[in-house]
Structure 1
Amino acid sequence: MHTWGRTLTTAGIHDPRLRDDYTRQRRLVSGYRRNAYIAVRLLLPPELAPHVIAATAFMHHTDLLADQPDGGDGFAAWEKEVRDGLAVGDSAHPVLRPLLHTASVHPGLREHAERFLAGAPMDRDFSGFADEAGYQRYVDAYSLPAFMLVACLVLSPDADADDSRALCRSYIDGSQRLDFVNDLAEDLGDGRLTLPEETLTRHEVSRSDLERKRDTPHCRALFRDLLEQSRRDLLAGRSLPELAPPAHRAFVRAFVALELLTNDAALAKGGRVLHESAGPSPRAALGVLIREYRRRGRR
């Protein structure tokens, strides 16, 4: 694995200010997405790694602003700054500046950044889902554009557009559903119920049951049903590596495998997800990364 300085140089990032920006985002991403960050550093070509990190940092920063209880003022200012930056191709903001540089190297990123930004108000103004259709609209408007910020960098631009969208859509549907179950404790603490009311009613579970952390058979059946549905969609994502260039396939395989491990961990946790989220064991996650690193080396 290249040193970070050499990685930036290999990626053609020479300006000292830009190098500082990418380095700052690298530290942040490694803090909140540790397994994904290690996968980027181990499994992607060094010329691509900083760009994936910049896209991930932009997505995370936007998501945080959309969730802030400030009446949307912070997000509105950020939205204007992003649109102004996209218009002129530069910005003084340490999150936006590297993203704009990445977009100059990978022009396809611009369209996905605009779509993600356009969909972010759905997360900012989130008030719950009445039914599955409402959840699916959220996936189309916000979750899928967020995922495409990274997917557009690691999948082949020559891949069939319909196949690529269908597989990405299936994968992110499974991933988002997993997140909503796995993050229940945190979301409910913030006053957000992210499971459709229709689904709760079908399983005879109330919002009060979840808020009071009642580990009942009905709650466990609800979580099991949602996580099994999530797993089916994630499994469809195992075909995503076929749409990536050979040098990127180990990373895409690891990305999908780590999410499936998280799904397994949430299933095993059952009703305890009402108290804390689940994640793969360090040993299991490391096993995935080592396997793909060796496979990449043999290739």
Structure 2
Amino acid sequence: MTVHELDLAGITDSGLRADYLKSSRLFRDIGRGRFLGRYMFPAAKRPYFDTFFSFVCYVDDLVDDVNRSLEVRKQRLDEFERAYLAACDGEETETDGPPSGDHVADAALSRALVHMMRTWDLPYRDVPQFVQAQREALTTYEYATYEEMDPFIQGVTLLPAVWINGLFEPQSEDSEELCRHTITAFQLLDFAWDVQEDLELGRLYLPLEDLTKFGLDRTSLAREVGSGHVSEAVRELMKFEIDRAVGHLDAGRAWGRTLHPTSRTFVDLDIETHRQMAVELVKDDYAFFGRPKKGLGFNSAKIAPRTAAAAARAKRINREAEQSGYRIRRPWSA
């Protein structure tokens, strides 16, 4: 993020500008290839985009940090929530002794996030619901049924998705439902792509009832995935999971068209990236599951050329929108 972007956004308070800049640096460091998506938005919207995605990635990383014990991760979620609630009330976070680097990051990100959500009329008081859903996911290691996994999908996946849909400026009443289908598809494809990594971390996000349907259990799945060769049962299981995800992707395929033109390029590229994930997962008779690879991102070799083309296209669209009088909303002021 640059000070020029903050100027264009109309964010003038020096303390708040520092919070936004810190949030953007966090996003750059932990957001992986998704950070490149910021260049598909008007410069004035990028501080808000950076802050929101920094928040989602930051809380995800608090939960997934295997270098910290379960108790420490629970504590970090509690600390972030306290910092966020303090920011909601315009108060400083209370700490025992001098604030650590974690506490400083919690507070800065929280202040920027509250401002971002209030600017875009998003339900900023509902953020603790997302933190609670992550807290519950922290100690859940498997799901018996797809229905049992629904609270995770609703709380961890779809709650922030509906919020970001507001930042994308929906132009249709159908937008939220299409967003829900699309982001559900993204999550299910991520579950399939990361199945080996999740199993190694002691988690499984494929419902046990699905494994049973194809004569598998958690132990046999863990033994096969990454072994270099997978059985017909694993291929059938993965086909079932990927088909479910692609069904949601197809149902939400019009999402981009329901958004303001300045948001469509990013969403369309994200959908294209996940469609490519589905292709990679099923290619060569599901060979991926014999030798899983790193995830696809906007900066990965297969997607990077599309990312560059999308950024160039978005630049033209954004310029035309601004020439036609488009301006983002004024920042929230207490």
SS of residue paired to 2:44: coil
Aligned to 1:104: 118
- AA aligned to 1:86 is C
CA RMSD of aligned residues (A): 2.6
For the residues of structure 2 that align with 1:210 and 1:178, how far apart are their CA atoms? 17
Q: CA deviation at 1:141?
A: 2.4
Q: Does 1:80 align with 2:88?
A: no
Of 241-250 and 113-122, deviating more is: 113-122
- Bigger relative contact order, structure 1 or 2, given CA contacts below 8 A and separation 6+? 2
- AA aligned to 2:221 is L
Q: CA deviation at 1:193?
A: 1.3
Q: CA deviation at 1:101?
A: 2.2
Q: CA deviation at 1:45?
A: 1.0
Listed as ranges, the matches of 1:1-299 within 5 Å are 4-41=2-39, 43-67=40-64, 69-71=69-71, 72-88=74-90, 93-110=107-124, 113-156=127-170, 159-160=172-173, 163-212=174-223, 213=225, 214=227, 215-268=230-283, 270-273=286-289, 275-279=292-296, 282-296=300-314, 297=316
- AA aligned to 2:58 is H
Percent identical pairs in the alignment equals 21
Per-residue CA deviation, residues 190-236 of structure 1 (Å, 9 max, x unaligned), is 11111100001112222112322342221122122212221221233
Of 192-201 and 271-280, deviating more is: 271-280
- AA aligned to 2:202 is G
- AA aligned to 2:43 is P
1:224 touches 1:267 (CA, 8 Å); kept in 2? yes
For the residues of structure 2 that align with 1:245 and 1:118, how far apart are their CA atoms? 31
1:122 touches 1:142 (CA, 8 Å); kept in 2? no
The 1:10–1:242 alpha-carbon spacing in structure 2 relative to 1, beyond 3 Å, is same
Aligned to 2:96: none
Per-residue CA deviation, residues 99-141 of structure 1 (Å, 9 max, x unaligned), is 1221232231515534423432332232311011112332122
Return the structure number with greater helix share: 1
For the residues of structure 2 that align with 1:10 and 1:258, how far apart are their CA atoms? 30
For the residues of structure 1 that align with 2:129 and 2:243, how far apart are their CA atoms? 29
1:54 touches 1:99 (CA, 8 Å); kept in 2? yes
For the residues of structure 2 that align with 1:164 and 1:117, how far apart are their CA atoms? 25
1:265 touches 1:279 (CA, 8 Å); kept in 2? no
SS of residue paired to 1:108: coil
1:237 touches 1:256 (CA, 8 Å); kept in 2? no
For the residues of structure 2 that align with 1:7 and 1:55, how far apart are their CA atoms? 16
The 1:277–1:63 alpha-carbon spacing in structure 2 relative to 1, beyond 3 Å, is same
The 1:251–1:90 alpha-carbon spacing in structure 2 relative to 1, beyond 3 Å, is farther
- AA aligned to 1:140 is Q
Q: CA deviation at 1:90?
A: 7.0
For the residues of structure 2 that align with 1:114 and 1:136, how far apart are their CA atoms? 18
For the residues of structure 2 that align with 1:279 and 1:252, how far apart are their CA atoms? 15
1:180 touches 1:195 (CA, 8 Å); kept in 2? yes
The 1:147–1:61 alpha-carbon spacing in structure 2 relative to 1, beyond 3 Å, is same
**Structure 2: gaps (5+ residues):** 94-103, 321-334
Deviation beyond 4 Å, 4+ runs, structure 1: 89-92
SS of residue paired to 2:108: coil
The 1:32–1:80 alpha-carbon spacing in structure 2 relative to 1, beyond 3 Å, is closer
**Structure 1: gaps (5+ residues):** none
1:203 touches 1:221 (CA, 8 Å); kept in 2? yes
